[in-house]
Amino acid sequence: MLDNSVDNRVYEVIETKLEQIMNEIGIDKTSDVLDSTLEKESINRLYLTSLLNPEKFKKESEDWLDNIREKLLDYQSTEGAMPTLKSEEIRAEKVDAIKFSPLPNWLENLTVNYLATNDINYSHTPNGLQFRIPGFNENVFTFDIRASINNPIPEPLSMQHEIIQKIIAEAVPFTASQPIPQIKLTPSSSQSGIWSLWLLQINNEFETQNLIQPIFNSDDGQNFPAFAQDIWSKLIAPGDSFYCCGALDSEESKTLYNQMLEKAEQFLQPKYLEIEEKINSNTVKIKTNKEKAFDFQEKQIRRIGIENIRGSRLQRLAQERDGWYVNFDSAKQVIPKLSCLLNIKIVSE
């Protein structure tokens, strides 16, 4: 509970405003915020201000609430960024897939190449990669999400990070008109075919999800997901794991591109439906939280004793609610976009 030195009147004013903020954002446990040690100190300072300098109390309390709002929004976004997994879904193959995923190495190579291409200075430090991209603060970054849990210095870079999103957004997609390069793996592959890397972007106005998927389709039309991952690992590995041996002509490249586009759409369809379902589920939660916020505001307005003011504010709230619902119907629409990042012809001996 709060210290006895905090006046009940001040506490009630702050609690009412804070509860409204948390209802808007969709987070519960107002008391947990008020009871935290740091916030107790802040509230005590507000109490003293209300006694010693009442004219400053309103501004200082609003500044504190704005700060709390930012903290809660950060908490909400961080909470949603962590993946959840039910115990019955845990399988050894899932653990191995995460453990040996080439994505962290791929993201690091992607970032380093982007920095070098754009003449942006960077350096490797014991804690990670240090650089500054225009529009972002200079920092030390790591691509090992697990390591960042025990080391607060580097900032973790994942697919959802704004910097990675910026880099991907500036990448030029591979098009049907581009010649497909031919490479040989070392040691040589027993399978020849087309390897491609695809970016599936799925979003509505509330959320964006990205999935990068490698696909390998052999010359006889078979799909080999495990081999696609293995090729990806070799392409991003240091050393001489492959070498270029020419390029296909434009007509053959165009034909193979269209074939791979069809294969990618078929392969990624189940993944798209899965992600779409998650986004729709999250959108329903957003709607529910917003409805709770509207209900809370209405409840607060109905406590106003002066009828004219109460009626005016209820009318304004109703207009705001109706407008939000109109925008919500269009904002909730899920839109997919599939882009080819790379097409490569794998040549066997």
Q: Are 177 and 250 in contact (CB under 8 A)?
A: yes
Give the CA diameter of the chain.
87
**Judgement on whether residues 197 and 48 belong to the same structural domain of the protein:** no
**Judgement on whether residues 256 and 316 belong to the same structural domain of the protein:** yes
Question: What is the CB neighbour count within 10 angstroms for residue 57?
Answer: 18
* Residue 130: burial class (beta carbons within 10 Å; 0-12, 13-18, 19+): middle
Overall number of domains in the chain: 3
Segment 35-53 mean pLDDT:
59
**Judgement on whether residues 210 and 125 belong to the same structural domain of the protein:** no
**β-bridge partners, 266:** none
Domain-located, residue 82: no
Q: What is the CA radius of gyration of the chain?
A: 27
**Judgement on whether residues 17 and 102 belong to the same structural domain of the protein:** no
Q: Are 344 and 194 in contact (CB under 8 A)?
A: yes
**Judgement on whether residues 319 and 254 belong to the same structural domain of the protein:** yes
Q: Which of 128, 145, 171 is the last residue of a domain?
A: 171
pLDDT at residue 78 greater than cutoff 50: no
Domain-located, residue 280: yes
- The distance from CA 3 to its chain's CA centroid, rounded to whole angstroms, is 39
Which two three-digit tokens encode residue 260? 């791979």
Which two three-digit tokens encode residue 70? 């930012």
Torsion over CA: 22, 26, 29, 33 (sign): negative
CA 226, 80, 225: angle at the middle one, nearest 5? 5
Helix (H) or strand (E) holding 109: helix 103-117
**Judgement on whether residues 267 and 336 belong to the same structural domain of the protein:** yes
Give the per-residue pLDDT at 205: 92
Domain-located, residue 101: yes
Q: Are 108 and 143 in contact (CB under 8 A)?
A: yes
Segment 201-206 mean pLDDT:
92
Q: Which of residues 262 and 70 earns the better pLDDT score?
A: 262
Nearest to residue 30, comparing CAs of 80, 68, 58, 3? Answer: 68
Q: Which of 104, 139, 171 is the last residue of a domain?
A: 171
Domain-located, residue 86: no
**Judgement on whether residues 137 and 241 belong to the same structural domain of the protein:** no
**Judgement on whether residues 59 and 163 belong to the same structural domain of the protein:** no
Q: Can you list the positions of beta strands (E) in the chain?
A: 122-125, 128-131, 139-142, 155-156, 181-185, 193-203, 208-218, 242-247, 335-346
**Judgement on whether residues 252 and 329 belong to the same structural domain of the protein:** yes
Give the per-residue pLDDT at 77: 44
Q: CATH code at 96? A: 3.30.360.80
Q: Which of 171, 193, 210 is the last residue of a domain?
A: 171
Q: Round to whole Å and give the CA distance between 1 and 8.
A: 12
**Judgement on whether residues 105 and 58 belong to the same structural domain of the protein:** no
Q: Are 304 and 313 in contact (CB under 8 A)?
A: yes
**Judgement on whether residues 215 and 119 belong to the same structural domain of the protein:** no
Specify which of 26-30, 149-153, 163-167 reaches the highest per-range mean pLDDT: 163-167
Segment 152-193, tens digit of pLDDT? 788 988 877 889 888 877 776 788 888 999 998 887 777 899
pLDDT confidence band for 145 (50 / 70 / 90): confident
Enclosing domain of residue 158: 92-171
**Judgement on whether residues 143 and 234 belong to the same structural domain of the protein:** no
Segment 210-260, tens digit of pLDDT? 888 999 999 888 888 888 888 888 887 766 788 888 889 989 999 999 999
| Pairing mode of beta strands 155-156, 139-142 | parallel
Please state the pTM of the whole predicted model. Answer: 0.59
Domain-located, residue 19: yes
Segment 264-300, tens digit of pLDDT? 999 999 999 999 999 999 999 999 999 999 999 999 9
Which two three-digit tokens encode residue 271? 């993944």
